Amino acid sequence: MQGIIIEKDRIQRRFEDQLEFLQLWGDLQKKMRVIVIKETITPIKELNTTLRIKSKAMEDEFLKDIIPIKKSKGIVDKLWGLGKEIFKSREEIFEDEFIE
Amino acid sequence: MSLLNNKIIIDSNIFLDVIGGFDNNDSLKSKEVLKKVEDGIYKGIVIAPCLTEVYYKIADKRDDLIAKQIIKNILSMNNLEIVPVGREESLKAGRIWSKYNKGKKRDKWLSIVDCLIISIASLLRNVPILTWDDRFNVVSDAKIINPTYI
């Protein structure tokens, strides 16, 4: 389990929406070990920490949603034509260069 | 075609071909191969950066929501292993990039992901690569299979 050191009270004050903070805080504690400290070195570092926590929590949420629970059959049939409206032609897949 | 250990590394374009669901023999061939993987006739391997390619192609044309859904489906596919890329594979891919791309026109270049596929194929003791991309034809470090011939 990943861990993070955090100065909770000061970060909490930065959030205008306290409900948002509490939800984020709850999610964070479920996902990693949180050690609360009282001192913050500089306000800028504190703000960076806040942003990092936010993006980490959002990333975890994104990945949790994408990781499948189990393997199954019948997926190829599901995939077939799912992007029919996305690609106008087969050539479009092959002519577009993949990003180098 | 008989494959060593029945393993194949599957390129992104096979998945995109199936996702496109085009009404032609080649797309149907892509579907047939993936079905064979799903049914256990072949053991499918996908290198993790290929998921990035599929994701961004869909997200670029449409949106993240459908890209996520499609990736989720691919990850759920029976008998398909996702292989991560580590330091050794990455460095070897760099050498492969130099070997095949240096001095060539950019439109003939193998992409970084192509180089990673070749690197992993050779490190996995020549598990063949299944792809529609004919830029792989110059590659001698791995066995390349066009889906038509499988």
Tell me the C-alpha distance between A1 and A18, whole Å. Answer: 27
ipTM confidence: 0.84
In terms of Cα–Cα distance, which of A85, A96, A71 is closest to B19? A85
CB-CB neighbors (< 8 A) of B133 in chain A: 94
Quick check: B58 and B65 in contact, CB under 8 A? no
B1-35, pLDDT tens digit by residue? 555 568 999 999 999 999 999 989 999 999 999 99
Within B22-141, strands assigned E span: 43-47, 80-83, 129-130
Total-model pTM: 0.74
Asked if the C-beta of A88 comes within 8 angstroms of chain B's C-beta atoms, the answer is no
What structural domains and CATH numbers belong to chain B? 4-149 (3.40.50.1010)
Asked if the C-beta of A3 comes within 8 angstroms of chain B's C-beta atoms, the answer is no
Asked if the C-beta of A87 comes within 8 angstroms of chain B's C-beta atoms, the answer is yes
Quick check: A80 and B71 in contact, CB under 8 A? no
B109-148, pLDDT tens digit by residue? 999 999 999 999 999 887 999 999 989 999 999 999 999 9
Asked if the C-beta of A64 comes within 8 angstroms of chain B's C-beta atoms, the answer is no
Contact B111 A98 (CB under 8 A): yes
A34-72, pLDDT tens digit by residue? 666 554 444 445 555 666 666 677 677 777 777 766 788
Contact B26 A90 (CB under 8 A): yes
Long-range CB contact pairs, B93-100, < 8 A, 24+ = B93/B118, B93/B119, B96/B141, B99/B141, B100/B138, B100/B139
